[in-house]
């Protein structure tokens, strides 16, 4: 039922992790770069900080939840079909300038 990457990011900047519009663009770009098609994107800016963005894809979903005050984010890149979700993970790791990360792969 597809390829699922669970990516935990550490040491990211507060500003980036609290920027809802930036994270929307990042996730949509990562989805497209993985070969996926974005059907719909939803997001929520929490108070006093923190953002969730979720893209519903034709090929499953991609999501990010952030804890800016701790420099942490949890990302899922889950696709079925011929996509290459690892490419999306690499883009997110790079563009959030994570000082550290863990990446788990699950074949569903």
Interactions with its own copies, residue window 7-66 (CB under 8 A): 8, 39-40, 42-44, 46, 52, 54, 56, 58, 60-61, 63, 65
List the beta strands (DSSP E) in 1-108: 3-10, 38-45, 51-57, 60-67, 72-79, 100-107
Phi, psi of 62 (to 5 degrees): -135, 135
In the structure, how many helices (H) and strands (E) does the chain have? 3, 6
Task: State yes or no: is 60 an active-site residue.
Answer: yes
Task: State yes or no: is 61 an active-site residue.
Answer: no
Is 2 an interacting residue with respect to its own copies (CB under 8 A)? yes
How far does CA 91 lie from the centroid of its chain? 9
What residues make contact with its own copies under the rule CB under 8 A?
Answer: 1-2, 4, 6, 8, 39-40, 42-44, 46, 52, 54, 56, 58, 60-61, 63, 65, 67, 72, 74, 76, 78, 80, 104, 106, 108
Question: Which residues are catalytic, by number?
Answer: 60, 65, 80
């Amino acid at each position: 039922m597809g390829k699922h990457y669970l990516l935990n990011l550490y040491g990211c900047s507060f500003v980036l992790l609290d920027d809802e519009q930036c994270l929307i663009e990042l996730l949509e770009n990562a989805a497209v770069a993985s070969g996926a098609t974005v059907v719909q994107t939803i997001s929520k800016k929490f108070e006093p900080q923190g953002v969730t963005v979720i893209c519903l894809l034709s090929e499953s979903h991609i999501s990010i939840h952030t804890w800016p005050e701790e420099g942490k984010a949890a990302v899922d890149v889950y696709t079925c079909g011929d996509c290459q979700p690892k490419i999306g993970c690499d883009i997110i790791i790079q563009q959030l300038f994570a000082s550290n990360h863990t990446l788990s792969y699950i074949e569903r």
